[in-house]
Amino acid sequence: MGAVAFGFVLVGGLSQRMGEDKTRLLYRGRPMALHQAEKLSFVCGRAALVGKGTHPFPSSGYRFVDDGAETLAPIYGVLAALSWSPDDLNVVVAADIPRCPESFFAALLEIAEAVPAAVVVPVIGGELQTLCSVWRRSAIPALREAILADRLSLRGPIERLSAVIVPEDETVLMPGGRPENFLNVNGPEDYEELTKDDEALTSRR
């Protein structure tokens, strides 16, 4: 039996480079946001969407958590998720990294279950993957403090918290940890790259 955890998909971005709401773009027949939620539901048993205003997919069956902030910054979504969550452990992922598989989320959760760290964050491409991470509710004060100080990068709280940073050479050895699985779908060219997955899947049928 794995850890008791809740899964959250962040859907509050502006999608300026894409020119349309990228969380609704289809990947393997489903909007990217719901594709992520389905994976987190499999890993955690429960999942919710976190964003601004009204529920973007009201008929999906997933709960929606409003981050309550006018400012666009993922830190508000993470804080809202942890504040709302009934569980100590929480897997938080962005909607726009849809290639990242259930196996990787599960492996991150196993690390978080084994250590008392407030956050577990992998590294890919030399960058902290802050929106593919596992958070404990003990991180809430640090997130609130950062927001009050108008320091809206998640890196700040992570540096001040008891964090497990999974080095890149270890991340790539984790199930599903290949760098291509962290493709961030920001613009049309990224979505074009992503849709090659669907084309390849169709051609194999």
Q: What would the pLDDT profile of 10-60 be if each residue is shown by its tens digit?
A: 997 655 566 578 889 999 999 999 999 999 999 999 999 999 988 999 999
Please give the C-alpha separations between residue 142 and each of 19, 79, 90, in angstroms, as whole numbers. Answer: 33, 10, 16
DSSP strands (E only) in 4-97: 5-10, 26-27, 30-31, 47-51, 63-66, 89-94
Residue 10 pLDDT: 96
**Residue 74's domain is classified under what CATH number?**
3.90.550.10
Residue 95 pLDDT: 95
Residue 20 pLDDT: 73
User: Phi and psi dihedrals of 182, rounded to 5?
Assistant: -105, 20
Residue 202 pLDDT: 47
Residue 196 pLDDT: 82
Give SS3 for 117: coil
Residue 195 pLDDT: 87
Q: Residue 147 and residue 197: Cα distance in Å, rounded?
A: 38
Residue 179 pLDDT: 95
Regions of the chain with pLDDT less than 50: 1, 201-205
* Domain containing residue 145: 5-203
Residue 205 pLDDT: 43
Looking at the structure of the chain, the number of domains it has is: 1
pTM: 0.92
Mean pLDDT of the chain: 91
